[in-house]
Amino acid sequence: MDNPEQRIKIAVQKSGRLTDHSLDMLARCGLKFTQSKDQLFCYGENMPIDLLLVRDDDIPGLVSEDVCDLGIVGRNIVEEKRLALLAAGKEASFDRVFELDFGHCRLAIAAPEETAYAGPASLQGARIATSYVAIVSDYLARHSIDAEIVYFSGAVEIAPKLGKAEFICDLVSTGSTLAANHLREVDTVLESEAIIIQTRAPLGSAKQGLVDRILQRLDGVLQVRESKYIMLHAPRAALEEIARLLPGSESPTVIPLEGKGDKVAVHAVCRETVFWETLENLKAAGASSLLVLPVEKMLA
Ligand code: PRT
Ligand code: ZN
């Protein structure tokens, strides 16, 4: 696959909130890269998978136009692009593949602390400052509200102070930016996190096979994060109770213990956090020799 046409290109944010997490997830998938001098391109050393480092706003377009096969970007950006294309009578040519469980935030409506709010109807006739024109237009249309959208490319939170708008709609994670500007969050328009998108352009079987491999690895990386491997000894009679106590585990493996009569070893992958209380409860149910190990890789 050294033919450049056959290499996979993934669009990743060059420098911002999603960059470190995106690169870390790809590294956990076993991918190694060398970065170009201009730092815009990362060449895949051990697999024919390269990265294009760009502004997050450009990622849906690059994937839609088939410049990149995959992209890692916030759902807020993806939805804005999809709805903006829809408003222009076009259809986005990418599909969401799955959520990546980082970059969590929400696109929220906020107003000065003293502003009364009783649901979307309170936005009727108001001015709303935002960078997310298409998402907010869609939200207003869905609630049959007539309001004016005032475009701000950044620093949306100062719009009410400048007398430019009564409400704002912006991304919020901790809420401290709103609090610092004496704004109160009143409604959520969209819950967001980083997602992976794939172009709708047909890739051909070799490239699609490679995309499927990398998506399967990403899925594995997500699954192992909370997962632990538990090993314990238990009397056969306690097996039912012990299986019930193992958090997020489907079917534990039960292995007879040589020369130990009714005692067995139980091994299980637990997909939820294993707390000290869980171990204490297992012990109380008859388990002994409990061991909890981190899971490094998983392939379903
Ligand atoms: O240069 P480039 O265009 O690539 O980057 P950018 O500056 O547009 O984006 P960046 O790096 O700030 O954010 C990238 C993505 O991170 C966003 O598109 C979201 O999907 C996600 N994300 C998660 C956030 C936040 N949390 C977030 N809190 N993006 C922005 N914010 C900003 C928000 O706009 C507001 O100004 O942080 C402020 C609020 O934060 P709190 O914690 O005070 O509530
Ligand atoms: Zn951006």
- Region of poorest pLDDT, from 56-65, 125-134, 243-252: 243-252
Q: Which ligand is nearest to the CA of 74?
A: 1
140 band by pLDDT with thresholds 50, 70 and 90: very high
Pick one of 3.40.50.150, 1.10.30.50, 3.30.70.120, 3.30.540.10 as the CATH number of 228-294.
3.30.70.120
Residue owning the nearest CA to atom 32 of ligand 1: 171
Q: Kindly tell me if the per-residue pLDDT of 105 is higher than 80.
A: yes
Looking at residue 274, what is its pLDDT? 85
Task: Take atom 13 of ligand 1 and give the residue whose Cα is closest.
Answer: 17
Task: Decide if pLDDT at 260 tops 90.
Answer: no
The answer to which of 7-16, 29-38, 161-170, 182-191 has the lowest mean pLDDT is 29-38
Cα separations (Å) of 156 from 119, 153, 178, 183, 245?
A: 21, 7, 10, 11, 49
CA dihedral 73, 77, 79, 83 (to 10 degrees): -140
Atom of ligand 1 nearest to the CA of 175: 44
**Ligand 1 and 60: CB distance under 6 A:** no
Domain ranges of the chain: 4-103+194-223, 105-192, 228-294
Whether the full predicted model's pTM is greater than 0.75, yes or no, is yes
- Beta-ladder partners of 192: 105
Confidence category of residue 5, pLDDT binned at 50, 70, 90: confident
Calpha distance 297→300 (Å, rounded):
10
- Classify burial at 142, counting beta carbons within 10 Å of its beta carbon; exposed 0-12, middle 13-18, buried 19 or more: exposed
Residue 2 confidence (pLDDT): 61
Please determine, for residue 279, whether its predicted confidence score (pLDDT) is greater than 70. yes
Give the pLDDT band (50/70/90) at residue 37: confident
% of the chain with per-residue pLDDT over 90: 87
| Amino acid occupying residue 41 | F
Q: Backbone phi, then psi, for 216, in 5-degree steps?
A: -65, -40
Q: How far is the CA of 196 from the centre of ligand 1 (A)?
A: 17
Mean pLDDT taken over the chain: 94
> How far apart are the C-alpha atoms of 37 and 7, rounded to whole Å?
20
Instruction: Indicate the CATH number of 105-192 among 3.20.10.10, 3.40.190.10, 3.40.50.1100, 3.20.20.70.
Output: 3.40.190.10
Domain 4-103+194-223 shares a fold with domain 105-192: yes
Residue 20 has pLDDT above 60, yes or no: yes
Q: How far does residue 16's CA lie from ligand 1's centre (Å)?
A: 8
Ligand 1: residue of 55, 172, 196 to mutate (most ligand atoms within 8 A of CB) is: 172
Q: Is 232 helix (H, G, I), strand (E, B) or coil?
A: strand
Nearest CA, atom 5, ligand 1? 16
The response to whether residue 286 sits with its C-beta less than 6 Å from ligand 1 reads no
Going from the Cα of 181 to the center of ligand 1, the distance in angstroms, rounded, reads 17
Q: What is the mean pLDDT of residues 32-39?
A: 88
Q: What is the position in ligand 1's atom list of the atom closest to the CA of 16?
A: 11
pLDDT score of 47 more than 80? yes
Question: Residue 153: CB within 6 Å of ligand 1?
Answer: no
CA distances from 198 to 85, 94, 121, 202, 284 (A): 17, 5, 37, 10, 49
Asked if pLDDT for residue 21 goes beyond 80, the answer is yes
Assess if CATH 3.40.980.10 describes domain 4-103+194-223.
Answer: no
Check whether 1 has a pLDDT greater than 60. Answer: no
Give the closest residue (by CA) to ligand 1 atom 4.
55
pLDDT(3) > 80: no
| Angle at the Cα of 5 from the Cα atoms of 34 and 222, rounded to 5 degrees | 55
Q: Is 100 in the pocket of ligand 1 (CB under 6 A)?
A: no
- Calculate how far, in angstroms, residue 72's C-alpha sits from the geometric centre of ligand 1: 14
Nearest listed ligand to the Cα of residue 154:
1
Band the pLDDT of 130: cuts 50, 70, 90.
Answer: very high
What is the average per-residue pLDDT within 222-237?
Answer: 92
> Residues of the chain with pLDDT > 70: what percent?
99
Question: What average pLDDT does this structure show over 189-212?
Answer: 96
Closest atom of ligand 1 to 14 CA is: 4
Nearest protein CA to atom 20 of ligand 1, as residue: 74
Asked if the model's pLDDT at residue 132 lies above 90, the reply is yes
Question: Residues 237-246: pLDDT tens digits?
Answer: 999 999 999 9
Distance 104 CA to ligand 1 centre (A): 10
Over residues 206-227, the pLDDT tens digits come to 999 999 999 999 999 998 888 8
